Amino acid sequence: MSHHSDATLASRVDRLLEAAFRACGLPADTARSVPASRPELGDLQCNGAMPLAKTLGRPPRDIASDVAAKLRDDAAFESVDIAGPGFINLRLSTTFLATSAEDQLATDDAGIVRQNAQRVLIDFGGPNVAKPLHVGHLRSLVIGESLRRILGALGHHTIGDVHLGDWGLQMGMLIAEIRRRWPDLPCFLPEPALPEGSLPLGMDDLQKLYPEAAAACKADPARMEEAREATAALQAGHVGYMLLWRAIRTISLDAQRRDFDSLDVHFDVLLGESDVQSLIPGMLDDLRRRHIAVESEGALVIEVAEASDGKPMPPLLVAKSDGAALYATTDLATILDRAKRDKPDRIVYVVDQRQALHFEQVFRAAHRAGYADGIELFHAGFGTVNGPDGKPYKTRQGGVAQLGDLLSDAIDKARERLAENTEVDDREALARLVGMAAIKFADLSSYRTSGYIFDPERMVSFEGRTGPYVQYACVRICSILGRAIERGAATGAIVVDAPAERALVLDCARFPDVVTSAAANLAPNEIADYVFGLAQTFSRFYNECPVLAADAEATRASRLALCALTRQVLAKGLWLLGIAVPERM
């Protein structure tokens, strides 16, 4: 049977605090514990007396000492002290800590407390057909996958949707370019056909072709016109273009699937812009009919400005004067489609922060039109990935860095690091795992909306705030547990004695609260910070408290259980970041 926790250590303490506040005739809304700011004075502290003092007109220390007197009766606390203006410092009893640690160890998921399940659609990845994945997509993939795992672990039903950029001008550019180079392809004949395997192009060719096509269009208005015409013909259902488009899409998606696999990123639906095109004419009619969309200089727009806007909010353009639909039109239709198909409670868009205005406009338009009733729409934006010079990361050749370049830069560096390590058989597989941990941790440990510097040298280091450091901590614990099994040493009842044991139990106990908070803020960096801190706490424990070499068998058994608990929490935390832990390194 699966075993989940229904309360965290902090929430158990909060319940005791609430009861004590009430027993003193005080309102309980400030009866909350936070981690102690000075661990030498306690494990947790409650700052609730200070705000109460103001509303009740009583000295905060008086309030605090009333509450403390009640708390002292409880076996959960070893000591309850008042400090400063009225801080209540709580030191938990060793029994309470040991029971809490054992409860957490007995859960399946490191004590994560399930929430009321919501249906959450996560729109992430967003690669464009025929264009290689670049650094921006890397962030979207890494953050989106982590959010998918975090929300899923809390019991939500998540739907990961890649939202392929598979429609629009870029496809027209490519078709026009292919037509110039291979005018005799069967898809360009009056009776078009595209027999299996007849396309003389692979993904590598497409990736070369696209930038050349885009550059030609930019330089030459006639070429741009050609691309526009091809786009219009495609959108009007030109049979040959459709065949070609589908073939390109397949080639591209196959390549992208390999990238997703190598990043260990998973999608539930691989839908794209093209999949909602058939909804657009009806949607525009509906918007027109209900006067939500209005003509403006020949184009069709939706006013989205609100009285409370601090800065100007331009109307959302949903059809150009020639009738062509836009990126925003597709996003609006996608909301309509998802509302029907997936019935989400929330849609989270993991997309570059530079698209913030676009999403604000689309969300407002969707709500105005009644297309998102009961759906919370949220743009989880992210900042840019920069090189060591602080400018957007470039390849060694100076081009825009593609996903493959980033991965191989990190994996190369990881391989160099591992060079002296002779113990591992499959060094290549290990280099990949370490390189991936390096990339993901570096990305996820910086706050989502701020950019970060992509520095493969630093991020594969086994020292400092890095993925490999945390990964290594986890592997080391596994090897301690492995050696214990070899020697027939078993885990046993947890006894909390040494300060480093107490610190470790308290740190592990925080994990479920960190996961809840990371989900509320859509901020995987909270988990990254946490696992790094826990790895350090463990390392202090391991230095101060011999495990296999412990004097007494009971002590060894208890410490092994603490190792098992830490491993469970670290491995779960890393998993939530999308980071896999090798067996050895």
Residues in contact with ligand ARG by the rule CB under 6 A = 123, 126, 128, 163, 165, 331, 349, 351
**Whole-number Cα distances in Å, 168 to 140, 158, 172, 244, 434:** 21, 28, 7, 14, 38
Nearer to ligand ARG, 349 or 441 (CB): 349
Smallest separation (angstroms) from ligand ARG to the CB of 312: 22
311 residue type, one letter: K
Smallest separation (angstroms) from ligand ARG to the CB of 583: 37
Nearer to ligand ARG, 302 or 531 (CB): 302
Cβ count within 10 A of residue 489? 18
Smallest separation (angstroms) from ligand ARG to the CB of 507: 37
Q: Is 271 in contact with 220 (CB distance < 8 Å)? A: no
Smallest separation (angstroms) from ligand ARG to the CB of 568: 35
Smallest separation (angstroms) from ligand ARG to the CB of 163: 4
Smallest separation (angstroms) from ligand ARG to the CB of 135: 12
Nearer to ligand ARG, 126 or 240 (CB): 126
Nearer to ligand ARG, 43 or 161 (CB): 161
38 residue type, one letter: R
**Cα–Cα distance for residue pair 558/547, rounded to 1 Å:** 9
**Nearest alpha-carbon partner for 89 in 114, 72, 75, 106:** 72
Nearer to ligand ARG, 404 or 499 (CB): 404
Q: Is 510 in contact with 503 (CB distance < 8 Å)? A: no
Report the side by side order of strands in the sheet with 157-161: 157-161, 119-123, 346-349, 376-379
Cβ count within 10 A of residue 491? 19
Smallest separation (angstroms) from ligand ARG to the CB of 126: 3
DSSP assignment letter at 275: G
**Cα–Cα distance for residue pair 532/570, rounded to 1 Å:** 9
415 residue type, one letter: R
**Cα–Cα distance for residue pair 301/289, rounded to 1 Å:** 13
Smallest separation (angstroms) from ligand ARG to the CB of 207: 15
Nearer to ligand ARG, 52 or 129 (CB): 129
Smallest separation (angstroms) from ligand ARG to the CB of 340: 16
Nearer to ligand ARG, 359 or 469 (CB): 359
531 residue type, one letter: V
3-state secondary structure of 327: helix
Q: Which residues contact 96 (CB under 8 A, 6 or more apart)?
A: 75, 76, 77
The tokens describing 333, both together, are 């239709």
Nearer to ligand ARG, 165 or 578 (CB): 165
**Nearest alpha-carbon partner for 489 in 561, 405, 386, 578:** 561
Which helix H or strand E contains 44, and what residues bound it? Answer: strand 44-46
Q: Which residue is nearest to ligand ARG (CB)?
A: 126
Nearer to ligand ARG, 200 or 314 (CB): 314
